[in-house]
């Protein structure tokens, strides 16, 4: 009797998907052909406090599908888990061991990844979730070459569990995975701001948004873009980051087309 298919068995249900998923020479010209989109967990939450709002997740999924299908940009997504649990905050507030608390945070990212995968697939987009901590009943394990193959076939890939290690964040994971899968840029979608400012725009009305800023300036001024480990990793590996407002419809597409420029490019 043949073995039951495992999470490691290659799926054939969308085997007809193109094997060269690339922007068409005659269509709109995206700035990059493979990117990592970093979504904070809070992007999934509803304003009244529920950790996951189905309508919001469906809206994010439809924007992702729009850039996949129209711009033919290969999209890998790193999901955060801050809407469910943050290791450091949880450890401090509840007295939980920090490493354990970080594992709880990593499990939170899996919940978000499954919600997003479900929303994408319900709208017809083939999607694979890969986890940095193995949970083969739920998702594939993270395998770099396999992730790249999925992208080439036009599947969306979601990376969950961060990089699998405590004391890290999903921002750093986005940088690491982007370098590993040879993505050309990181799109950091936020729900709180539309870019990087020279001061806090909530308290300083004179604060100015940068259209472009260097890694060194972000580090020296401690501008709140991503955590500093992620920024220095991007600097060392020459990975551009665009920080933009995820809550405004059409912004993923706008960032990829770059015209008019939105958000802040860190490079
Ligand atoms: N985390 C971790 N290692 C990783 C990524 C995440 O330990 O590689 C844990 C950490 O506790 C973190 C939580 O998962 O607070 C949720 O991730 P993050 O804070 O990056 O989520 P976001 O702020 O993007 O929603």
Query: Which helix (H) or strand (E) element contains residue 243?
Result: strand 241-245
What is the per-residue pLDDT for 247? 87
What is the distance between the alpha carbons of residues 89 and 84, in angstroms, rounded to a whole number?
A: 11
pTM: 0.91
Ligand 1 centroid to residue 79 C-alpha, Å: 9
Q: Ligand 1 within 6 A of 112 CB?
A: no
pLDDT of the residue at 199: 87
Q: Is 90 in the pocket of ligand 1 (CB under 6 A)?
A: no
Q: Is the CB of 86 under 6 A from ligand 1?
A: yes
For the chain of 267 residues, list the mean pLDDT of each consecutive stretch of 10. Answer: 41 49 82 96 91 96 93 97 95 94 98 98 98 97 98 97 98 98 96 88 89 95 90 97 92 92 94
**pLDDT attached to residue 9:** 39
Q: Which residue lies with its CA nearest to atom 21 of ligand 1?
A: 80
Per DSSP bridges, beta strands 241-245 and 264-266 are antiparallel
| CA neighbor of 35 nearest in space, from 8, 74, 67 | 74
Contacts 24+ apart (CB under 8 A), 246-249: 246/39, 246/43, 246/60, 246/189, 246/190, 246/191, 247/43, 247/191, 248/194, 249/59, 249/63
Per-residue pLDDT, 16: 42
Residues 6+ away with beta carbon under 8 Å from 255: 187, 242, 244, 262, 263
What pLDDT does residue 6 have? 42
pLDDT of residue 165: 98
CA-based torsion, 84, 90, 91, 96: positive or negative: negative
Measured from the Cα of 87, ligand 1's closest atom is: 11
Distance from residue 162's CA to the centre of ligand 1 (Å)? 6
For residue 154, the model assigns a pLDDT of 96
CB 190 within 8 A of CB 244: yes
Tokens coding 70: 């129209």
Separation CA 102–CA 86 (nearest Å):
7
The DSSP string of 182-234 is T-SEEEEEESS-SS-BSS-TTT-TT--B-SEE-HHHHHHTT-SSS-HHHHHHH
Asked if omega into 260 is within 30° of 0 (cis), the reply is: yes
pLDDT of residue 28: 82
User: What pLDDT, on a 0 to 100 scale, did the predictor assign at position 15?
Assistant: 44
Torsions phi, psi for 266 (to 5 deg): -105, 120
- Please work out whether the CB of residue 240 comes within 6 Å of at least one atom of ligand 1: no
Pocket of ligand 1 contains residue 38 by CB under 6 Å? no
User: How confident is the model at residue 19, as a pLDDT?
Assistant: 53
Choice from 42, 85, 86, 189 to test ligand 1 binding pocket (greatest atom count within 8 A of CB): 86
């Amino acid at each position: 009797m043949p073995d039951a298919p495992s999470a490691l068995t290659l799926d054939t249900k969308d085997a007809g998907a193109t094997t060269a998923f690339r922007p068409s020479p005659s269509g709109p010209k995206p700035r990059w052909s493979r990117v990592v989109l970093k979504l904070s967990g809070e992007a999934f939450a509803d304003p009244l406090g529920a950790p996951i709002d189905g309508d919001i997740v469906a809206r994010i999924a439809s924007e992702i599908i729009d850039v996949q299908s129209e711009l033919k940009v290969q999209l890998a997504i790193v999901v955060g888990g801050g809407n469910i649990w943050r290791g450091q905050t949880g450890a401090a507030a509840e007295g939980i061991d920090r490493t354990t608390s970080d594992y709880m945070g990593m499990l939170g990212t899996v919940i978000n990844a499954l919600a997003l995968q479900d929303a994408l697939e319900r709208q017809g987009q083939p999607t694979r979730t890969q986890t940095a901590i193995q949970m083969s009943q739920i998702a594939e394990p993270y395998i770099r070459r396999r992730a790249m193959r999925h992208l080439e076939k036009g599947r969306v890939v979601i990376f969950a569990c961060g990089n699998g290690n405590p004391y890290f964040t999903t921002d750093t994971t986005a940088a690491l995975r982007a370098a590993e899968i040879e993505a050309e840029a990181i799109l950091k979608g936020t729900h709180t701001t539309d870019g990087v400012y020279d001061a806090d725009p909530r308290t300083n009305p004179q604060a100015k948004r940068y259209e472009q800023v260097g890694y060194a300036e972000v580090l020296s001024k401690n501008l709140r873009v991503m955590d500093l480990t992620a920024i220095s990793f991007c600097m060392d590996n020459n990975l551009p980051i665009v920080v933009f407002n995820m809550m405004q419809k059409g912004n993923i597409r706008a960032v990829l087309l770059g015209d008019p420029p939105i958000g802040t490019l860190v490079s």
